[in-house]
Structure 1
Amino acid sequence: MKKGFQGVLALGGLMLAGCAPAQMGSMGGMGAGRLDVAQPATSVGAGSLTLSSAQFVNGGTLGQEQVGSGNGCTGQNVSPSLSWSGAPAGTVSYVLTTYDPDAPTGSGFWHWITYNIPASATSLPKGAGAGGAGLPAGAVLANNDGGTPGYTGACPPPGDKPHRYIFTLYALNKTLALPQGASPAFVGFNLNGAALAKTSITAFYGR
């Protein structure tokens, strides 16, 4: 019985190891190495870190300028300006994400991810999510869930209740070394254990 039980444990360990995500190679393929990811802290609060936008108030409605311009949507697809303050001691870089948890995908939809924003930065100008224009030196646009780098505007299905668009700023204790075209999930894995603080604001949009 003892040997049989040990065999079951060993098999279970191999199965769990097989579920760990493989690291993407520089060409976007799957490499042989596994992610070496620190586990997230038990709780990461905002502390004194705050985030705001000149284009919307927290809990308000996203403007047409920030709405997508395809799939029946007639917005301008321009990322909003964002400003922040109150970074904790030890901040080396920031990551900004925009996420719609209400998208009918089963896993939400990531609209915008910018990482390695330098610690000296306190804002992003309007339109910084388009091709990197206005981004601070060193900042990188990751792919959104549409498969392109930068910002893609809100465009929920007609008739849905207004979706939430959550803009989150993370203060990290390091910069992220990621392959070009990193996916939102890959960026997310590498955020684990590096966040000193995070804060969010939310805008709503429906059609």
Structure 2
Amino acid sequence: MAVMGKLLKNKRAGQDGLAWNSPNLASENTFALSSPDFANEAAIPTVHAGRRLGGKELSPALTWDAVPAGTAQLLLVIEDPDAPTALPYNHGIALLDPTVTGLAQGDLAAENTVDGVRLLSSGSRRGYLGPAPVKGHGPHRYVFQLFALAKPLTVGKSDTVPASAKPRDVLAAAGDVLARGRLDGFYERV
């Protein structure tokens, strides 16, 4: 598998495709997004990595500053821009009530039910998908992005977001961002 990683070493989705860089999710206003489990721009502990890498696929705890007045909904997006794919790989997407002020470890697991948290399909499954980069591909950046939306998100003809909505449709439908926060962590499979 390390050979595959070395062959794909220069193939990366790139940060341009992150939700953070989508014009419809832009905002000049920011708020702090952090984790007691790892510092911004630091290594993500193995416990948060995928099970096949020896991790427990435990979503990290997240905390953030108070969101702006008028926030109707929060959109949490976790992406890997270093994946050897056309677009950053989605590791989790969720809608949160604006009254939610943080998430404990494991709150993004598909089998958990947390008040005010609605897990959406990341494309491969619902809930948090821990880091699992190709062996030998080098360090991967995992970007946790939280957007404060001025109005509830709707996708398609629905007045909500269907459980089957694709991440690209959810991100395309989002807008009216009042403020946003970002936390970056790294994980490398050697």
TM range (shorter): 0.7 to 0.9
Matches within 5 A, 1:54-133: 54-70=36-52, 73-115=53-95, 117-131=96-110, 133=112
SS at the partner of 2:131? Answer: coil
Q: Give the superposition deviation at 1:197.
A: 1.1
Matches within 5 A, 1:23-62: 40=24, 43-47=26-30, 49-62=31-44
Letter in 2 for 1:196: L
Q: Is the 8 A contact 1:124 1:135 kept in 2?
A: no
* 1:181 corresponds to: 164
Distance 1:179 1:165, change over 3 A: same
Letter in 1 for 2:129: T
Q: Give the superposition deviation at 1:128.
A: 0.9
* 1:30 corresponds to: none
Q: Is the 8 A contact 1:149 1:181 kept in 2?
A: no
* Deviation sequence 1:2-34 (CA, Å, 0-9, x none): xxxxxxxxxxxxxxxxxxxxxxxxxxxxxxxxx
Q: Give the superposition deviation at 1:160.
A: 1.4
Name the TM-score, length of structure 2 as normaliser: 0.79
* Deviation sequence 1:103-160 (CA, Å, 0-9, x none): 0112120001011x111111011101112525223x2111113x21000100001111
Structure with max Cα Rg: 1
Q: Is the 8 A contact 1:93 1:173 kept in 2?
A: yes
Give the 4+ runs in structure 1 shifted more than 3 A. Answer: none
* Deviation sequence 1:37-91 (CA, Å, 0-9, x none): xx827x41343x1111011100100111110013xx2211010010111312211
* 2:139 corresponds to: 162
Letter in 2 for 1:178: V
* 1:202 corresponds to: 184
Q: Is the 8 A contact 2:81 2:89 kept in 1?
A: yes
Q: Is the 8 A contact 2:50 2:56 kept in 1?
A: yes
Name the TM-score, length of structure 1 as normaliser: 0.73
Q: Is the 8 A contact 1:68 1:74 kept in 2?
A: yes
Q: Give the superposition deviation at 1:195.
A: 1.3
Pick one of 110, 118, 123 that aligns with 1:140: 118
Return the alpha-carbon distance in structure 2 between the equivalents of residues 124 and 134 of structure 1: 12
Return the alpha-carbon distance in structure 1 between the equivalents of residues 134 and 29 of structure 2: 32
